[in-house]
Amino acid sequence: MTAAVSLQNVHKVYNNLTVVNDLSFEIQAGEMFGLLGPNGAGKSTTIRMLTTLTKPTQGQIEVAGFDIVRQPLQAKQNIGVVLQQTSVDGDLSVWENMELHGRLHHIRNPQRQQLINQWLEYVELADRQGDLVKTLSGGMKRRLQIARALLHQPQILFLDEPTVGLDPQTRRRLWEIILDLNKQGMTMLLTTHYMDEVEYLCDRIGIMDGGKLISLGTLAQLKSQYGEGLVMKQVGDRWKYLFFPDLPQANAYLDRQSDKTGMMVRPSNLEDIFVELTGRQLD
Ligand code: ADP
């Protein structure tokens, strides 16, 4: 089976600075893949290359079976893109934004109108279609971006930090939409620096730091690789983390200590693994 997305030894260099460094991974059709990493890790640059907005300096990328450098138009026809910067036009109405995108993709009427109605209904913006986009809330704008990205019926959806800056309720609503689209068969790649987002949404997680993929797997695989049991030990004003294969072994370690002051045991989570891998907390 051909992968929906494939990167092989991809590098991106800006002014002698390597911002994506030898990145290789695949996303299978129907998969929800999360790229997690701190600011500056190279996530947006990766999405920009995958969506043909910038070319890799070196390496090969295929999206929906098309080489993004040699066949960018075919690749673009098969992908929907929701970028971090809200790219909808505030001075146009909701409907006009959809109409413009539909025309750019050469979708003819009556299909264009039918698809606009369908996707605006889906993201619950049908009743706002005459309103100027600048009057919408942040969450509504993001839902419009998603509706617009889906209009030309792509197979793969790329979402760059889809819930950044949104309130918890609005994030949950977007998560529902993202999960529902994935359930309908959409392949998705999302970037985020929120641990809970990848834990909740993603089948597999790639952790990026300093332009490199430093870990890759399902949450269960990552936990079993690094350890499911954690002993936290307070040293001065910092916590030291000790990983154990499981909770009973972490508890056994604690039991063996004569002085248990400032120590506690708990199951490990993705954030612990991230800190262990990078030596850093996320923002
Ligand atoms: P992330 O999305 O993980 O926060 P980015 O891909 O945005 O990371 O950025 C990775 C690095 O590449 C950063 O150091 C950033 O300053 C640099 N960078 C991104 N775009 C450009 C550009 N157009 N020109 C020069 N440097 C860039």
Q: What is the pLDDT of residues 164-199, one digit of tens each?
A: 888 898 999 999 999 999 999 999 999 998 889 999
CB 208 within 8 A of CB 35: yes
- In a domain? residue 232: yes
Residue nearest to atom 27 of ligand 1 (CA): 14
pTM of the model: 0.91
Residue 20 CA: nearest ligand 1 atom is 10
The two three-digit tokens of residue 155, written as one number: 């197979």
Question: Within a domain: residue 234?
Answer: yes
Q: How far is the CA of 44 from the centre of ligand 1 (A)?
A: 7
Residue 146 belongs to some domain of the structure: yes
115 belongs to a structural domain: yes
**Burial readout 150-176 (b: 16 or more C-beta within 10 A, e: otherwise):** bbbebbbbbbbbbbeebeeebbebbbe
Q: What's the structural domain count of the chain?
A: 2
Count of Cβ atoms closer than 10 Å to residue 42 Cβ: 24
Residues spanned by the domain of 251: 228-267
What local confidence, expressed as pLDDT, does residue 283 receive?
A: 47
- Nearest Cα residue to 151 out of 192, 121, 194: 121
Does 163 reside within a domain? no
Extended strands (E) in 144-275: 156-160, 187-192, 204-209, 212-217, 229-235, 238-244, 263-267
Q: What is the arithmetic mean of pLDDT over 255-280? A: 90
Q: Which residue has its alpha carbon closest to ligand 1 atom 15? A: 40
pLDDT for res 1:
59
Give domain status of residue 253, yes or no.
yes
pLDDT in tens, 145-164: 999 999 999 999 999 999 98
> What is the rounded CA–CA span in Å between residue 85 and residue 224?
36
* Tokens (6 digits) for 136: 């919408």
Judge whether 26 lies within some domain.
no
Q: Rounded to an integer, what distance in angstroms lies between the CA atom of residue 20 and that of residue 8? A: 12
Question: What percentage of the chain's residues is helix, strand, coil (to nearest 5)?
Answer: 35, 30, 35
- Of 2, 146, 152, the closest CA to residue 67 belongs to 2
Q: What are phi and psi for residue 61, nearest 5 degrees?
A: -130, 130
Last residue of a domain, one of 104, 135, 153: 153
Whose CA is closest to atom 23 on ligand 1?
Answer: 14
| Domain presence at residue 100 | yes
| 35-74 pLDDT, tens digit each | 999 889 999 999 999 999 999 999 999 999 999 999 999 9
Q: Which residue has the tokens 């494939």?
A: 6
Structure token digits, residue 86: 């809200």
- 43: Cβ below 6 Å to ligand 1? yes
